[in-house]
């Protein structure tokens, strides 16, 4: 099935085990006729169990089938590459632009949803090396998928993210991210919404909007900006290198961004990623984490933004979450936000 999303052509098909696969191509690209997945995979039978921690109220997910997922395969056997003789992959076609499919080893099954987002068919590239047009196509895929997943009654929060680098724990080196449709509100979002609710009651305004306004006015921690977005190091950054990207207009999710806002995000995000890799002259391990508003509760309090986090505290040093961070949740930072912002600004000068 071919449909047209804003700025992209979407083609839906299924893999041999019934999982959904979606191709995203430029709107002016030739109509894609998807090839058949000939692997003959058995129907997936993932099991997930949710338990509530009585001490914190946090939901803990047990997905033991994930312990057998593919781990750092040889480059010529990557399951995220386009298929070729000798390597039938998750993407049956011989080439693709952006592809999204249901994760074969999902964290959630039944309620919830886990998807893999392949940013490009080029195994050797990273998001940093994508053209602005290709990055923009990824934004369209994010927007389309988050909108569709948000409409499902079993999903409470849609989280698009990317892990890059072995230090982060990446198990497949192909440039890709994931989307989790949580059947519950993650602990961090519960905390952020509680803070936003308290702030709204006292100040009468949106917490995230006021944080953005304060950072833009102060300016010391602003890394880069354009007409619709600002990237800054938060004044109480937890991670050694941490940059948040905010649109200048409060929106709930990626699908709510205008065409111009999507264009400007792609430009600024590639700029910031380039600064990350230029900081120490090599690829910086990072987590890129979208923070939309919750699907149903407190949606008016949320403010879409992206948080970009790296655990590298120096060129040859990693920040490990040791006793205080892991045991108490109390972060102790080795870097000062103002210094990190200045270093990142200099990289792009």
**5 has pLDDT over 80:** no
User: pLDDT by residue (tens digit) across 108-129?
Assistant: 877 999 999 999 999 999 999 9
CA distance 97 to 9: 11
**44 has pLDDT over 90:** no
Locate 40 and state its tokens: 């003959």
> Which residues belong to the active site?
176
Give CA separation, 153 vs 148, 157, 179, 282, 283, in Å. 11, 11, 17, 43, 39
Is-contact 144 105, C-beta < 8 A?
no
CA distance 118 to 92: 13
Q: Which domains does the chain have, with CATH numbers?
A: 1-349 (3.30.428.10)
Is-contact 266 13, C-beta < 8 A?
no
CA distance 123 to 82: 9
pLDDT bin (cut points 50, 70, 90) of residue 96 is very high
CA distance 276 to 283: 8
Cα maximum dimension of the chain: 63
Locate 225 and state its tokens: 């900006």
Quick one: pLDDT at residue 110? Answer: 78
The secondary structure of residue 74, as a DSSP letter, is -
């Amino acid at each position: 099935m071919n449909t047209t999303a804003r700025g992209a052509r979407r083609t839906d098909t299924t893999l041999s085990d019934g999982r959904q696969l979606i191709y995203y191509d430029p709107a002016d690209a030739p109509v894609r006729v998807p090839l058949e997945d000939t692997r003959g995979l058995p129907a997936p039978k993932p099991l997930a169990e949710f338990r509530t921690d009585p001490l914190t109220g946090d939901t803990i997910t047990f997905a033991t089938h994930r312990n057998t997922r593919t781990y750092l395969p040889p480059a010529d056997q990557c399951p995220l590459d386009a298929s070729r003789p000798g390597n039938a992959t998750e993407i049956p076609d011989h080439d693709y632009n952006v592809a999204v499919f249901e994760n074969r080893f999902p964290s959630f099954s039944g309620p919830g949803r886990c998807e893999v987002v392949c940013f490009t068919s080029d195994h050797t590239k990273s998001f940093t090396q994508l053209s602005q047009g290709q990055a923009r196509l990824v934004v369209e895929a994010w927007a389309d998928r988050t909108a569709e997943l948000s409409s499902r009654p079993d999903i409470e929060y849609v989280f698009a993210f990317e892990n890059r680098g072995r230090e982060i724990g990446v198990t497949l080196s192909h440039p890709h991210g994931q989307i989790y449709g949580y059947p519950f509100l993650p602990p961090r979002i519960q905390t952020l919404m509680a803070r936003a609710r308290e702030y709204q009651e006292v100040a009468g305004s949106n917490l995230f909007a006021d944080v953005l306004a304060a950072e833009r006015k102060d300016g010391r921690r602003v890394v880069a900006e354009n007409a619709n977005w600002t990237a800054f190091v938060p004044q109480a950054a937890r991670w050694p290198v941490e940059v948040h990207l905010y649109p200048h207009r409060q929106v709930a999710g990626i699908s709510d961004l205008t065409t111009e806002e999507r264009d400007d995000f792609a430009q600024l995000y590639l700029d910031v990623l380039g600064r990350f890799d230029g900081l120490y002259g090599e690829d910086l391990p990072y987590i890129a984490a979208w923070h939309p508003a919750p699907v149903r509760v407190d949606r008016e309090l949320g403010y879409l933004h992206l948080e970009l986090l790296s655990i590298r505290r120096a060129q040859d040093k990693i920040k490990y979450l040791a006793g205080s961070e892991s045991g108490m949740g109390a972060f102790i930072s080795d870097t000062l936000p103002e210094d990190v912002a200045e270093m990142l600004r200099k990289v792009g000068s």
